[in-house]
């Protein structure tokens, strides 16, 4: 997700300074996503200026967005790598500065899709949680019933959803 978000940010906001919001640096997937985002930005001459840990709470992401606005006026890109996007978006809306930022999120729940449709989010990355669950159950079934050992890594690639196709997008 981090590489995808970094590439998207470089396309829509080249050379910019960006911020990342993740749940916790102690969670490997989130930390890895943040690091990949930073690496991808830097490979194209951009920069991840600051990273915030929200503990996956909109209230915390809202407070951290206040910090971002007050202390990092040169940041114009935001990657919200977990589901607390609404705290960030709503705080920027309240301050009347949402249009200053290029925002990339993850997830496709209705509120995010509404913001995507309105253009306040440039893209969202769908992690396909239902498909991940289906694959996990299928692999478990195959192992328990048929003795088929699963592959070491089974990946469900994310999808990029842009405003132009959000109405046609089918959530899992």
How would DSSP label each residue in 83-97? Answer: S-HHHHHHHHHHTT-
- 172 pLDDT more than 70: no
Question: What span, in angstroms and rounded, lies between the C-alpha atoms of 121 and 114?
Answer: 9
Q: What is the value of pTM for the model shown?
A: 0.88
Question: CA 92, 38, 158 angle in degrees (round to 5)?
Answer: 80
Report pLDDT digits (tens) over 4-38: 999 999 999 999 999 999 999 999 989 999 999 99
Average pLDDT rounded to a whole number, residues 45-73: 95
88 and 62 in contact (C-beta within 8 Å)?
A: yes
Is residue 94 predicted with pLDDT exceeding 90? yes
Residue range 110-155, pLDDT digits in tens: 999 999 999 999 999 998 778 888 989 999 999 999 999 998 888 8
């Amino acid at each position: 997700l981090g590489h995808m978000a970094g590439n998207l940010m470089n396309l829509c906001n080249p050379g910019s300074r960006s911020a990342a919001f993740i749940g916790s640096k102690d969670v490997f997937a989130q930390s890895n996503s943040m690091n990949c985002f930073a690496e991808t930005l830097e490979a194209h001459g951009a920069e991840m200026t600051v990273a915030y840990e929200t503990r996956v709470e909109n209230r915390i992401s809202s407070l951290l967005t206040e910090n971002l606005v007050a202390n990092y006026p040169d940041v114009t890109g935001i990657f919200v790598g977990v589901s607390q996007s609404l705290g960030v978006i709503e705080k920027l809306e309240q301050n009347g500065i949402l249009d200053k930022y290029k925002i990339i999120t993850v997830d496709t729940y209705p509120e995010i899709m509404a913001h995507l449709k309105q253009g306040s989010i440039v893209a969202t990355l769908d992690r396909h949680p239902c498909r991940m669950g289906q694959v996990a159950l299928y692999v478990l079934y195959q192992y328990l019933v048929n003795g088929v050992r699963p592959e070491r890594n089974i990946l469900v690639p994310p999808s990029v959803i842009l405003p132009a196709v959000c109405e046609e997008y089918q959530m899992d």
